[in-house]
Amino acid sequence: MTVFAHLPGAEALATFYARFANAVRDGHLAEAREPLIADVLRMAQAWVQAMPPAMAVPDLPAAGGLRAALGPWLAMAETAYQQWVRSEAADALIGAWTAGVAIPQGRHAAAMGAGEALGQAALDAVGLPAEGMARTLIHADGSARVYRYGDRLSTQSTPLLIVYAFVNRPSILDLAPDRSLIRGLVAAGRAVYLLDWGDPQPADAARSLEDYITGTLDRAVRVVGGRRAVDLLGVCQGGVLSLVYAAHRPRRVRRLITMVTPVDCRTPDDLLSHWIQPVAPMTWAMGSGQVSGRLLDLAFQCLAPYRVGLGKVLDLIDHAADPLWVQRFRRMERWVHDCPDQPGRAFAEFVRYFYQQNQLFNGTFVLAGRPLNLRQIQAPILNVYGLHDHVVPPAASRALAGLTASKRYAELAMPTGHIGIFVSARAIGLPAQLGAWLARR
């Protein structure tokens, strides 16, 4: 996708990341602060060129505290963007974009388009791979893989199978030794397994969502659990798949944890759902029948470009003298922009069934020729969500309450966003909390 590459802001952002990459390579990141700030100013000015005069970018401090100085402006800019992005003008712009039409320059368009330059620059020049713990491949199923974590298996605990999403990579769950949900669960005595969907192959383009659930996921559960029921931990889209599987095969699931999982996909504050409603998902498919991961990356960057996109750049400049912080930032950038392509048919069905028709929440989803009833789930459920999640709003996750027959349903609200729930300092204690919940039940 190159429809936004010509817009103001994109060039400045690409320049920023190129300068950042060179400074990291040469070991002079702290000295590059002033030119990096100049790049940020060019980008910010381009983003707000059509805003009222009151939205002008404020003067920046000569020393630290860049994020604090720009915090009020970021909040105002994000509010203005969120109002505009739900307007008819924005709907028309997004509709043209999803149809592959070149987009003319317009209000906030640069904020939407800068993510494209950011994506490839961050991935190629800035990103570091995750520093994951040792794991063992125990099962291969097409492009999907099941891994076991830890050198020793716990014989005292039920196997815990993590079901990740198709979107992005599960490496976010084990990003670094001090930021790892998986390491924390292993330390809590859990026998941890991961279902990684991998990169779709050409034959996967025509596979149905049902085949992934009743085929790949079911086989993974049986490999991990044998004759025993397993604990499932579903992440985001993987949480939806886990809910569907638990209702379809209730005897195979002992306990269920859902994390940042969309259940009601039509809440008023769900911007992603607002964008998706008029879209014919298969129009996003490439000639291979897959949906471009780069396109999805760009869409996610557009959800909160000021608060999240520009905000993290300001944080980087403020922490330029902290090697550990910079290293963590680089790993995050690698993960954020490394979005695999999506299997076309399964992607289109997920969007249509759950986002456009809200079938999981409405109870109208059909699997294997039979209506799926979440009331079939009687297992204990822990529903974990982020209070500041801009991808899956809290209301979208909390809608799960009352939809199942579980008598031991609980919620855990974390003071984080969609990604921070896995890597933020405010979520470091989460693995221990999950382990304790499993141990009590």
- Give me the active site residues, please: 236
For residue 335, give Cα distances in angstroms to 15, 129, 170.
21, 8, 9
The answer to whether the beta carbons of residues 414 and 426 sit under 8 Å apart is: yes
Place of tokens 């969500």: 385
Q: Which residues have a Cβ under 8 Å from the Cβ of 79 and sit 6 or more positions away?
A: none
The answer to whether the beta carbons of residues 246 and 234 sit under 8 Å apart is: no
Q: In degrees rounded to 5, what are phi and psi of residue 102?
A: -60, 140
The answer to whether the beta carbons of residues 350 and 236 sit under 8 Å apart is: no
CB-count burial class (<10 Å; 0-12, 13-18, 19+) for 130: buried
Which amino acid is located at 113 in the chain? G
Show the tokens assigned to 216. 């790949």
The closest alpha carbon to 37, from 51, 56, 52, 57, belongs to 57
Q: What sign does the CA torsion over 211, 214, 217, 219 have? A: negative
